[in-house]
Each structure stands twice: as structure tokens, then as C-alpha cells.
Amino acid sequence: MLLEQTITWHLACSTDDIPANGGACALVEGEQIAIFNFERRGEWYATQNLCPHRQQMALSRGMIGSTGAEAEPKVACPFHKKTFSLKSGECMSGDDYVIKTYPVKVEGKEIFVGL
């Protein structure tokens, strides 16, 4: 029997804090969370801010885009160019790295991240 996980929503920031088609970092419950406004797709994403490749808090400053036939949304680390799926967190650069992803909801101008 699988136990259903309960999501607790935490106010992270305002939509005004996140640039269109870019990201910014928010401190949520003591954890640095990278929040991305993928305006071209009308979607929001959240991941850990820590790039696992060199252990740098940098993903929120990475470039976002899409790749593949299914237009998988991704972020590229600004330092090492490792790319990660914004949906699954899997490294798309052929490495075994994985980042945490979090659910996001926007209510008015408030962005909430589920932990």
C-alpha cells in the first residue's frame, strides 16, 4: 500500500520577484529554492538551487529553454552548462545528477512552493 504524501504549501515570493523567462532564488523553510517563470509556456517551475555538479548555489541564474520533440523544459547551470529537466530533475547532459523539483502554484501575485 502506498502512502499518500501531503504537500504543505509555503509562500515563496511575489510574481514580481521572478523575471519573465528566467529565475530567481527564494529562501523557503531554510532551503534555497530556484523558481522559474517560463512565460513563453505559461508555466512555473521550482527546483533546488544547488547545482549538484560542483555544489554551487546557481541554478536560479541559469538559462531556461526547451529541448526534444516533446519540448521538455530545462535549465542550464550558468557555470558548467549541465542541463536539468524542470519537470523530473534528471540531468539532460548525460550525467547521473538529479535535482529536486517542487510543485508550484500561483495565487494572484503570490507564488507558493510545495514541500
As given in the structure block, the three cell numbers for residue 66 are 526547451
Task: Please write the tens of the pLDDT for every residue from 13-51.
Answer: 999 999 999 999 999 999 999 999 999 999 999 999 999
Q: Quick: pLDDT tens for 48-101.
A: 999 998 899 999 999 999 987 679 999 999 998 999 999 999 999 889 999 999
| Domains by residue range for the chain, with CATH | 9-114 (2.102.10.10)
- What's phi and psi for 9, nearest 5 deg? -90, 135
d(CA 77, CA 53): 9
pTM for the complete prediction?
0.92
